[in-house]
Chain A
Amino acid sequence: MARAVSNPRKALNTAIAWGIGLLIFFPILWTILTSFKTEAEAIANPPVFLAFDWTLENYSVVQERSNYMRFLWNSVFIAGGSTLLGVIIAVPAAWSMAFVPSKRTKDILLWMLSTKMLPAVGVLYPIYLLCIQLGVLDNRYALVVILMLINLPIIVWMLYTYFKEIPGEILEAARMDGAGLKEEILYVLTPMAVPGIASTLLLNFILAWNEAFWTLNLTAVDAAPLTAFIASYSSPEGLFFAKLSAASTMAIAPILILGWFSQKQLVRGLTFGAVK
């Protein structure tokens, strides 16, 4: 909606927006900067902002000490796998809730959301025991399933809202045109919901990538993703902030780059309803 905004007012708004943006981005920027400092400079007081001897030493040490690629691959596998599996399960679920709702649909949606309010640590013990019983501790596939289950409510919710925006008559038209359930979802519903599905995929990939509680508690060596990689550099007695920062930067870099390139898609997906 067009509103008359004066120029100074506009400049002020821009300044405030940049201010808030920088405030949010600052910890990440600080981490990246610290990763290029020596350990001494990293803990210097007062802190140095840019005027320090830039060094790549931390990165080479981190590379030498641990196998970054293995952690990276585990992260990609777990985040990607859980997101894909989640969407495959959530598309039909969201379809049924959006287009053939029953009296209990709203309750089911709320119940699913309520599981997100449960403190994860409350179910750590049973899930840990289950994993031991099933022999899947430190197993990538197990983490794929667990993270998928954790994020499933969000995936279903997001897809449900996108699907609700699609006029039911179009799906009915597909049915009249001879499409079965599979064709209806494959050829009509999914292509129409692509922006929504894309942003759901992306958001859940990020959530799964950042998930630390379960990945730290249920992995040791084989299935450890980048969160475990970062954690291995934080030690209670040592002050290796520079190396920790280098490890963190390496862990967040892939997702940061992915997010940067897909921000348009992400924003479009999150505002899908508004641009129908």
Chain B
Amino acid sequence: MGRITLDKVRKAFGEVEVIPPLDLTIEDGEFVVFVGPSGCGKSTLLRLIAGLEDVTAGQIRIDGEDATMVPPAKRGLAMVFQSYALYPHMSVRKNIAFPMKMAGIPQDEQNRRIEAAAKALNLTDYLDRRPGQLSGGQRQRVAIGRAIVREPAAFLFDEPLSNLDAALRHGMRLEISELHKRLDTTMIYVTHDQVEAMTMADKIVVLQGGVIEQVGSPMELYRAPRNIFVAGFIGSPKMNLLTGEEAAKRGAHTVGIRPEHVSISTTDGAWKGTVGVAEHLGSDTFLHVHREGATDPMTVRVDGEFSARHGDTVWLTAQEDQIHKFDADGLRIA
């Protein structure tokens, strides 16, 4: 079980309010990702749930019970830190055993769970090593092992992959998703990487300045961003945002068009432009096209085989039904 409810939770450090009163419900078994730029309060929010920070006002409930004043040790949550935070003076086995030792679980049961976790995480051969003798990926798995053995109500991940290299990051992303499917336990995951958020989450919470900008499934956020911030943050490469005449024509202050919703032609189209930088990914190419009379280049996704050279003249046409419209306050116009 692991239903977590935040009820008007507010956090201030002295005079500075980092999280204005905020409501959020995380359902049992959900994989929720807090995403936002650095300094948006996502880590603080996670630490409030963990109990590592005290809330200034409001209430946190775990499975219906008020946990606001409960110390972290008693909340029944497990956390994986960005720095892994393994105990350097203990072997891998002892690291994994530590939460069970604290919980007073009998030795036989401890051993059984350590073996099971080590097997699941490919750590069996490393149980007697110290964390200092492990690679980054192995340390991360030890940290996860330490979290799963105590069978927590929910897992909290604080940017757990940001210290890993790209290849390892992708592998661990899959492993964590797999783990979620297998354990079916609530997971709260903090990241600044929207790709991690999109690929792993059941539900994404987009934060900015301590305020929740939007909550929804990855595809909801992609299809119907509630405001310009979410529109720009979710999706890679970023959505193209146009103001002025093009927006006014469509009855909006700003319009947003994703790179994948623009078609390109060498003969005709709505906007004329010249090709700038081309980013080749193999399957796709992202072209930065300078539209006539516009300051910012427009990013366009084209097939990897599409050939265009720097300085070529091209024509762009947006798919009208895929254009997002926003008013002067940056809010979505339905």
A-side residues, CB < 8 A to B, are 167, 169-170, 172-180, 183, 187-188, 191-192, 194
Contacts and interface: CB of A to CB of B under 8 A. Distances in A.
11 contacts: A170-B85, A170-B86, A172-B50, A172-B79, A172-B81, A173-B85, A176-B73, A178-B103, A179-B102, A187-B98, A192-B89
Contact of A175 (B71, B82, B87, B156): B71
B99 interface: yes
Given A173-B79, A173-B81, A178 B87 contact: no
Interface residues of B, number: 25
Contacts of A176: 50, 52, 72-73, 77-79, 156
A172 B102 CA distance: 14
Given A175-B71, A183-B102, A191-B89, 16 more contacts: A167-B83, A170-B85, A173-B81, A173-B85, A174-B87, A175-B52, A176-B52, A176-B72, A176-B156, A177-B98, A177-B102, A177-B150, A178-B99, A178-B103, A180-B73, A188-B87
B69 to A, nearest CB: 15
Interface string B68-100: 000111100111011101111100000000110
Contacts of B156: 176
B10 interface: no
A169 B156 CA distance: 14
Given A172-B52, A191-B89, A192-B89, A177 B83 contact: no
A188 B94 CA distance: 12
Q: Which 10 A-B pairs have the closest CB atoms?
A: A178-B102, A173-B85, A177-B99, A169-B85, A176-B79, A175-B72, A191-B89, A178-B73, A170-B85, A169-B81
Contacts of B77: 176
Contact of A169 (B51, B78, B83): B83
Contacts of A172: 50, 52, 72, 79, 81, 85
Nearest to B89: A191
Contacts of B73: 175-180
Contacts of B226: none
Nearest to A103: B14
Contacts of A167: 83, 85
Nearest to B146: A177
A163 to B, nearest CB: 15
B48 to A, nearest CB: 13
Nearest to A172: B52
Q: Which of A173, A175, A191 has the most CB of B within 10 A?
A: A173
Nearest to A167: B83
B74 to A, nearest CB: 8
B88 A192 contact: yes
A60 B176 CA distance: 76
A226 to B, nearest CB: 37
A192 B95 CA distance: 14
A172 B295 CA distance: 49
Nearest to A171: B85
A180 B72 CA distance: 9
Contacts of B150: 177-178
